């Protein structure tokens, strides 16, 4: 079996790596700030890599599940990065699978550069929530050539219930940004609709009684309102900082494509404002409280 490397053991990555290990693949993991998932995986049979270069030198397929473009670039091209390790070990068949939500332009640039070292980069950003990462029921939105996809497919199938090949490298990240633009756009609309409604005497409970079960209902709506109505912070664990990052990437992509994306900029700016006031580590549904508080309202009453 191929040796698998994994960097980025956060809310999503820890569950994904656990499923790879459960399927019997030799697994090498890279520590960052939180020791708990590393220690858990090592106790179950994984090996800890000294640095990203060790992943490049010792693994056949390396998964990255980090915050965004700067972290991806650092893991690959720092002085102790994956590229250096692969070069020093003479590896010329390494595949890097970027599961982060990153910038498509950087993804394509890195893929072209890595190809010169006979390293293949593909993008496989995720759809789903941490509970689905643990249960192996995520979606993988993949930008890759068909041959590389077939090589890595058995490993991805350990943590993904649905694999969607959307085009060449970079297409996965493009589609993921579009998906997250829709999701974060809904979050922004829900937050402002609740504030407007509260000003007009419509409670969140009344709002929900009309929307739930209607054509405007959705999985995103349900987890968002699980927080709004039940105050369950764990219902939708996606930070406002990540929401700002993703909407910023989407607005930048639109600009690069010469699309006048006014809605994208407005959504980005709402999340940017939340992060700027120190709320970046709060989760997306908590945007409803932030918007309400700006108008001297409380949705929890």
CATH number at residue 104: 3.40.50.720
Query: Quick check: is 29 in a domain?
Result: yes
Q: Are 28 and 58 in contact (CB under 8 A)?
A: yes
Residue 196, SS3 per DSSP? helix
Do 157 and 252 lie in a common domain? no
Please tell me the distance from the alpha carbon of residue 193 to that of residue 25, in angstroms, as a whole number. 47
User: In the listed set 143, 168, 193, which residue is the last one of a domain according to the structure?
Assistant: 168
Mean pLDDT, range 168-190, rounded to an integer: 97
Could you give the CA distance from residue 129 to residue 222 in angstroms, rounded to a whole number?
13
The answer on 184 and 151 residing in a single domain is: no
How far apart, in whole angstroms, are the C-alpha atoms of residue 287 and residue 301? 16
299 inside domain? no
79 shares its domain with 218: no
How many structural domains are present in the chain? 2
Q: How far apart (Å, rounded) are the C-alpha atoms in residues 104 and 175? A: 9
Residues 9 and 141 in one domain: yes
Q: Answer yes or no: is pLDDT of 209 > 80.
A: yes
Q: Which domain holds residue 12?
A: 4-168
Residue 298 lies in a domain: no
Pairing relation of β-strands 61-64 and 47-49?
unpaired
pLDDT tens digits for 266-301? 999 999 999 999 999 999 999 999 999 999 999 997
145 and 16, same structural domain?
yes
Query: Is 100 domain-assigned?
Result: yes
| Residue where one domain finishes, among candidates 168, 197, 215 | 168
- d(CA 139, CA 66) in angstroms, rounded, equals 17
Mean pLDDT calculated for residue range 212-221: 96
Mean pLDDT of 144-160: 98
Q: Say whether pTM exceeds 0.85.
A: yes
Q: Which of the four pLDDT bands, split at 50, 70 and 90, describes residue 128?
A: confident
CATH number for the domain spanning 285: value is: 1.10.1040.10
């Amino acid at each position: 079996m191929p040796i698998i490397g994994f960097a980025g053991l956060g809310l999503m990555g820890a569950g994904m790596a656990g499923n790879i290990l459960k399927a019997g693949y030799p697994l090498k993991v890279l520590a960052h700030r939180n020791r708990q998932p590393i220690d858990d995986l090592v106790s179950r049979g994984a090996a800890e890599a000294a640095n990203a270069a060790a992943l490049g030198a010792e693994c056949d397929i390396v998964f990255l599940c980090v915050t965004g473009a700067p972290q991806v670039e650092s893991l690959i091209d720092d002085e102790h990065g994956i590229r250096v390790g692969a070069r020093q070990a003479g590896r010329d068949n390494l595949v890097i699978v970027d599961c982060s939500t990153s910038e498509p332009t950087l993804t394509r640039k890195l893929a072209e550069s890595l190809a010169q070292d006979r390293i293949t980069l593909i993008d496989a950003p995720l759809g789903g929530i941490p509970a689905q990462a643990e249960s192996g029921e995520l979606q993988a939105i993949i930008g890759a050539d068909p041959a590389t996809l077939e090589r890595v497919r058995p490993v991805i199938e350990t943590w993904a219930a649905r694999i969607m090949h959307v085009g060449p490298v970079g297409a996965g990240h493009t589609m993921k940004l579009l998906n997250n633009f829709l999701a974060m756009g809904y979050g922004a609309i829900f937050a402002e609709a609740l504030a407007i409604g509260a000003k007009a005497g419509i409670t969140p409970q009344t709002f929900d009684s009309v929307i739930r079960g209607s054509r405007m209902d959705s999985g995103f709506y349900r987890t968002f309102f699980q927080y709004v109505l039940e105050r369950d912070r764990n219902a939708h664990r996606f930070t406002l900082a990540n929401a700002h990052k993703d909407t910023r990437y989407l607005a930048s992509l639109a600009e690069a494509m010469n699309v006048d994306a006014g809605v994208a900029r407005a959504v980005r700016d709402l999340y940017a404002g939340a992060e700027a006031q120190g709320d970046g580590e709060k989760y997306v549904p908590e945007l409803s409280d932030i918007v309400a508080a700006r108008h001297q309202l409380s949705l929890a009453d």
